[in-house]
Amino acid sequence: MADDRSREGTETAVAEFHKKIKEAFEVFDHESNNTVDVREIGTIIRSLGCCPSEGELHDLIAEVEEEEPTGYIRFEKFLPVMTEVLLERRYRPIPEDILLRAFEVLDPAKRGFLSKEELIKYMTEEGEPFSQEEMEEMLSAAVDPESNSIHFKDYITMMVIDEN
Amino acid sequence: MGSGASTQHHFAFQNAEKAFKAAALIQRWYRRYMARLEMRRHCTWSIFQSIEYAGQQDQVKLHNFFSYLVDHFTPSSHNERDFLNRMFTEERSPRDSEMENCRDYESIEVLDSYTGPRLSFPLLPDHATALVEAFRVKQRLHARYVLNLLYEARKHLVQLPNINRVSTCYSEEITVCGDLHGQLDDLIFIFYKNGLPSPERAYVFNGDFVDRGKDSVEILMVLFAFMLVYPKEFHLNRGNHEDHMVNLRYGFTKEVMHKYKTHGKKILKLLQDVFCWLPLATLVDEKVLILHGGVSDMTDLEFLAKLDRHKIVSTMRCKTRKEHKKQAEKGKANQTSSAGRPSPWFLPQSRSPPTSPLRPSSQKAHRAGRSSSVPCRVPLDPNELSHWARHSMDLELERCRQQAGFPVIKEKEEPLPLASEADPEAEGGPEPTQEAWRQVVDILWSDPMAQAGCKANTVRGGGCYFGPNVTERLLQKYNLQFLIRSHECKPEGYEFCHGRKVLTIFSASNYYEVGSNRGAYVKLGPALTPHIVQFQANKATHTLTMRQRISRVGESALRALHEKLFAHSSDLLVEFKKHDKDKTGLITLSDWAAAVESVLHLGLPWRMLRPQLVSSLTDNKLEYKSWLKNLAKEQFSHENIQSSLLEALYRNRSNLETIFRIIDSDHSGFISLDEFRQTWKLFSSHMNIDVTDDCICDLARSIDFNKDGHIDINEFLEAFRLVEQSCSKGYASDC
């Protein structure tokens, strides 16, 4: 009995995931032929609630690409893979406090802020480096023009409110 | 040995690793944030596009309304018959001799107190430049000069061929601009950034100069002025909005009447004529074809070059010649007996045949970033039907109209030659041929699509969707390199498609809202390689971060969406209840999304939008009744008006406004209480809106603010916050 109920629960969850995935996919299906440009897959996956790293994203793309990559991803291939990802709750988003700690690691002197240069250095030289465009966009919102620094606690709060 | 050193190394390594990981985490988080913004941007765009095109589908509803009137409504009084006649007949279009009489602008006096720009003819380049400057500082051109300029413009336009031929030998560069839609700031910006027109700097403006924006008059004045000053280098193409019927709905008529209360009507009449003298297309070096909408699989450039474009007064109706009636009667055996209904003169004749019930289908016709819903008339097999429709439908409609003894357009009945339809030369009558009208509608209304083929453009109700093969065939047939067209708003202001053989160029930046899209123009050098320049004519947007820009546009889109949701409250309630069989008052979010889509048919990603539309949840479920109530609270200011009535008004406002303006044939801006009541009574009974007579009377009376028995259309719409944002800025009175 319990098995039936839990199976039913999973089925409903899967059905719901399918609808969500389809919706997100269709936003980028410009030719209405159930394909999207591979360059948009990252956006789609991330807007479905996942937070993969670039490396993880590349792995995912490899799973959904054609044998001979065409530059397009087909929905038929994307759906089952993405459903699994959602069911397994992979690539969970980063909680606010973990994010704060990450900034604090980069600020060992515990000043409560990072200078613009420091942020640029970390974001473009460490981890999975930003492109120039990404860096500029982040700076435009994060930097306090008077002090030329990023007060990361406030920054995080602002971004989080914004999302909701 | 350095165990100390290795410990230091160890720590250093650990710290470096920590920093690396921390950075990676921040980047990962940030990229997700940006992705969500990007998704929101796309969704916002979808909202605007689907609402815009849903508005165009209103045309179809209007068509149905009038068909309904014809079929079911028997006027019971002299008044009612008069009223109906007003809706179904029109003033005769101006004849050439009457045009001569328009020189009576000379009798209009310009007072000494007038401080605006003054024009004298022939115009000199300085005059045109001064005009731009005057408008930039918000001056208004006196009606006399407006009429004078229009009169001179008409004289010039009459001499131009249907397809204007331009060569890059003479001017060094040609700049092509797309839709401006009354946004003067964009025009000024283009001239500022690209330079004013000159013998070395040719311009082509590809239609849709007017409607929607608030400075359509000024844009026209500038464009016509430069056209007169540089006739060889400055070119205009007609767009689907250069059409007095479209102007009734989309704001240009309103703008003219507001700015020129005394002489507005004269101006509108002259404009009606000037518009149909605009050339249909421009051809650069025999290689690049520039036209407003697109092409169809039937587009025939030679035919287009020869037809009498002046006869196509409006693409919103086609008065066909009598011999088609004869042909129809001959070919009766071949026609299916469709429920062909008489078609009022001012509504677009859709390619698809009428199908009975008004159930919008959920079939996806063509998306490409716009609504996936299809209006009432869904062709069963688009390709087949479009060919069929082309030949028989309009003949059938014409025949039915005549049969119904309908008080339709009766021009002077001239003895028509018995020439066959295939001979376009023998156009003795005042009306265009069926084919001529078709060809023009196609190039003014069509949109490109990704799929091959050519099918009826059901979203717009006119023209078609044309695929890459259609483009290819046309380019090959006429030995052309590529097509430049406009007609569709694009986020970047331009878009290539069909393997870069079709370029859409759109010059009205911030079209939906500040920050919604860029505008663009394209320069063609002697090699004819297109060079695109983008812009956004609002300094404020440059200082906003992407986040702020997206959220601002998003808010605006959401407001529009809220209004749409409110307008369908009753239907939504019914739909929600279906998902709540146990009457708990709650439904799941999944059910909410399904219900909303089934009512609104906007083809939007409701699950993605849900967080912005539904805020409070109980147990992850929605209390739908209070959600609907909240929607209502946001919308109306008149507590005493029955909410379902309000809903109905909101839902049908654009059609109501159009009907009012049609009734208000002298463009006074007023209709009588009686007319209002009659209109509303007819309309609501057709739309199955349940309102009592008393309610209508109350409504009418409450709107007649100064109790003089007349309703100011704009006040009426304003009272229910139905007026578009741009108009709320108001206009100064005329000169």
User: A27 exposed, middle or buried (CB, 10 Å; 0-12, 13-18, 19+)?
Assistant: buried
pLDDT at B636: 55
B483-514: b (≥16 Cβ within 10 Å) or e:
bbbbbbbbbebbbebbeebbbbbbbbbbbbbe
The predicted-structure confidence for A81-131, as pLDDT tens digits, reads as follows: 999 999 999 999 999 999 999 999 999 899 999 999 999 999 999 999 999
Q: Are B401 and B280 in contact (CB under 8 A)?
A: no
Angstrom distance (rounded) from CA B80 to CA B77: 5
Distance CA A33, CA B35 (A): 23
B547·A141 Cβ contact <8 A: yes
Choose among B20, B33, B369: nearest Cβ to A30.
Answer: B369
Structure tokens belonging to residue B28:
């990962």
Are the Cβ atoms of A47 and B607 closer than 8 angstroms?
no
Residue of A nearest to B497 (CA): A31
Residue of A nearest to B590 (CA): A16
Q: Supply the pLDDT for residue B539.
A: 56
Q: What's the rounded Cα separation, in Å, for the pair A69 and A77? A: 13
Interchain contact, A42 vs B593, CB within 8 Å:
no
Give pLDDT, residue B53: 76
Q: Which two tokens stand for residue A52?
A: 């993969």
- The model's confidence at residue B390, banded by pLDDT at 50, 70 and 90, is very low
Question: Does the pLDDT of residue B156 top 90, yes or no?
Answer: yes
CB-CB under 8 Å, A105 with B22: yes
Q: Which of B241, B244, B258, B292 is catalytic?
A: B241
Smallest CA–CA distance from A12 into chain B, residue: B590
Tell me how close the Cα of B38 comes to any Cα of chain A, in angstroms. 7
State which amino acid sits at residue A92: R
- Most confident range (mean pLDDT) of B91-100, B639-648, B669-678, B689-698 is B669-678
Burial of B141 from C-beta contacts in 10 A (0-12 / 13-18 / 19+): buried
* A32 vs B24, B25, B367: nearest CB: B367
Instruction: Give the pLDDT of residue B196.
Output: 95
Nearest CB neighbour to A23, from listed B25, B547, B608: B608
Per-residue pLDDT of B549-586, as tens digits, reads 777 777 778 888 888 888 888 899 999 999 999 999 99
Q: According to the model, what pLDDT value does residue B47 have?
A: 86
Q: What is the model's pLDDT at position B378?
A: 30
Nearest to B607 among A19, A53, A138 (CB): A19
pTM of the model: 0.73
pLDDT in tens, B607-624: 888 888 888 788 788 999
Measured CA to CA, the distance from residue B443 to residue B446 in angstroms comes to 6
Under 8 Å CB pairs connecting chains A and B tally to 130
CA dihedral B664, B668, B672, B677 (to 10 degrees): 40
**In a mutagenesis test of the A interface, which of B39, B497, B602 is the best target, namely the one with the most A β-carbons within 10 Å?**
B39
**Would you mind telling me the total number of residues written for chain A in this entry?**
164
- Name the residue among B19, B451, B546 with its Cβ closest to that of A106: B19
Q: Do A105 and B28 touch (CB under 8 A)?
A: no
* Weakest-pLDDT range from B193-197, B287-291, B673-677: B673-677
Tell me the average pLDDT of chain B: 76
Per DSSP, the residues of B538-606 read: -HHHHHS-HHHHHHHHHHHHHHHHHHHHHHTHHHHHHHHHHT-TT--SEEEHHHHHHHHHHHH-----H
Neighbours of B568 (CB within 10 A): 20
Is the bond preceding residue A145 a cis peptide, omega within 30 degrees?
A: no
Topology agreement, domain A2-87 and domain A96-159: yes
Taking an 8 Å cut-off on Cβ atoms, the answer to whether B36 and A47 are in contact is yes
All residues of chain A having their beta carbon less than 8 Å from the beta carbon of residue B38 are 43, 47
- Asked whether the predicted pLDDT for residue B546 surpasses 70, the reply is no
Contact state of B46 with A47 under an 8 Å Cβ cutoff: no
DSSP classification of residue B137? T
**Residue of B32, B592, B613 for testing the chain A interface, max A β-carbons within 10 Å:** B32
Nearest chain B residue to A101, by CA:
B22
pLDDT of the residue at B352: 32
By Cβ distance, the residue of B22, B364, B547 closest to A162 is B547
Helix or strand or coil: residue B171?
coil
Cα(B311)–Cα(B440) distance, integer angstroms:
11
Residues of B with CB under 8 A from a CB of A: 15, 18-36, 38-39, 42-43, 46, 364, 366-369, 450-451, 545-547, 551, 590, 593, 605-608, 611
Residue A79 has pLDDT above 70, yes or no: yes
Confidence check: pLDDT of B249 > 50: yes
Q: What's the gap in Å between the CA of B493 and the closest CA on chain A? A: 17
**Choice between A30 and B423, residue whose per-residue pLDDT is larger:** A30
Instruction: Determine the residue type at B432.
Output: P
- Mapping DSSP onto H, E and C, the string for B456-472 reads ECCCCCCCEEECHHHHH
Is A102 in Cβ contact with B25 (below 8 Å)? yes
CATH fold for the domain made of A96-159: Recoverin; domain 1 (1.10.238)
pLDDT at B716 over 70: no
Nearest residue in chain B measured CA to CA from A107: B19
CB contact under 8 A, B450 and A33: yes
Instruction: Tell me the mean pLDDT in the region B34-60.
Output: 81
Q: Which residue has the higher pLDDT, A57 or B716?
A: A57
Q: How far apart are CA B633 and CA A93, in angstroms?
A: 36
Could you state, in order of their start, the residue ranges of all structural domains in chain A?
A: 2-87, 96-159
Rounded (10°) angle between helices A2-27 and B589-600 = 40
Give me the pLDDT at residue B52, please: 78
B732 band by pLDDT with thresholds 50, 70 and 90: very low
Structure tokens at B670: 């007023």
Residue type, A50: C
Query: Is A16 close to B551, i.e. CB distance below 8 A?
Result: no
CB within 8 Å: A106 and B23: yes
**Distance (Å, whole) CA B164 – CA B378:** 37
Give pLDDT tens digits for B307-328: 999 988 887 664 433 333 333 3
Amino acid in the structure at residue A109: A
Question: pLDDT tens digits, residue range A9-33?
Answer: 778 889 989 999 999 999 998 878 8
pLDDT score, position B729: 31
Taking only the tens place, the pLDDT of each residue in B701-712 is 766 666 777 777
Token pair recorded at residue B187: 């025009």
What is the edge-to-edge ordering of all strands in the sheet holding B447-448?
B447-448, B464-466, B454-456
Whether residue B387 has pLDDT greater than 50? no
Instruction: Tell me the shortest Cα–Cα distance from A7 to chain B, in angstroms.
Output: 19
User: How far from B319 is each of B323, B360, B394, CA to CA, in Å?
Assistant: 12, 29, 10
Cross-chain CB nearest to A27 (options B29, B43, B590): B43
CA angle B92, B95, B96 (to 5 degrees): 170
Which chain B residue lies closest to A33 (C-alpha atoms)?
A: B451
Name which of B25-39, B373-387, B542-556, B606-620 the model is least confident about.
B373-387
Separation in Å, CA of B553 to nearest CA in chain A: 14
For A145, counting Cβ atoms within 10 Å of its Cβ (0-12 exposed, 13-18 middle, 19+ buried), the class is exposed
Annotation says B241 is catalytic: yes
Best B11, B14, B18, B25 residue to mutate vs chain A (most A CBs within 10 Å): B25
B385 or B94, which is more confident: B94
Q: How far is A144 from chain B (nearest CA, A)?
A: 13
- How many other C-beta atoms are found inside a 10 Å radius of the C-beta of residue A78? 25
pLDDT of residue B722: 41
Say what percent of chain B tops pLDDT 90.
Answer: 38
Lowest mean pLDDT among B52-66, B85-99, B232-246, B274-288: B85-99
Cβ contact (<8 Å) for A51 and B593? no
SS3 at position B522: strand
The pLDDT assigned to B556 comes to 78
Q: Which residues of B touch A159 (CB under 8 A)?
A: 33
- What's the pLDDT at B66? 63
pLDDT tier at B229, thresholds 50, 70, 90: very high
| A164 vs B79 pLDDT, higher one | B79
**For residue B43, which residues of chain A lie inside 8 Å, CB to CB?**
27
Cβ B320 vs Cβ B398: under 8 Å: yes
**Cβ pair A23:B34 closer than 8 A:** no
In this model, does residue B182 exceed pLDDT 80?
A: yes
Selecting from 1.10.10.10, 3.20.20.60, 3.40.50.720, 1.10.238.10, what CATH number does the domain A2-87 have?
1.10.238.10
Contact assessment for residue B110 and residue B142, using Cβ atoms and an 8 Å cutoff: yes
> Which chain B residues are closer than 8 Å to A50 by Cβ?
32
Of B24, B42, B547, the CB nearest to A128: B24
Would the CB atoms of A141 and B545 count as touching at under 8 Å? yes
- Any idea what DSSP says for residue B670? E
Q: What is the mean pLDDT of chain A?
A: 89
Has residue A46 got a pLDDT over 90? Answer: yes
> In the 8-state DSSP scheme, what is residue B398?
H
Do A19 and B593 count as a contact with CB atoms less than 8 A apart?
Answer: yes
What pLDDT is stored for residue B233 in this prediction?
93
From the list B505, B597, B512, the residue with the least C-alpha distance to A26 is B597
* CA–CA distance, B517 with B630 (Å, rounded to integer): 31
Rounded to whole angstroms, the Cα distance separating A67 from A84 reads: 20
Phi, psi of B43 (to 5 degrees): -65, -45
Separation of alpha carbons B539 and B211, rounded Å: 23
CA distance to partner chain A, nearest, from residue B573 (Å): 23
Instruction: Report d(CA A144, CA A161) in Å as an integer.
Output: 18
Contact A52 B593 (CB under 8 A): no
| Top-confidence residue, B302 or B425 | B302
Chain A residue with minimal CA distance to B551? A162
Gap between the Cα atoms of B438 and B432, Å rounded: 10
Considering CB atoms only, which of A43, A122, A128 is closest to B35? A43
- For chain B, what percent of residues have pLDDT higher than 70? 68
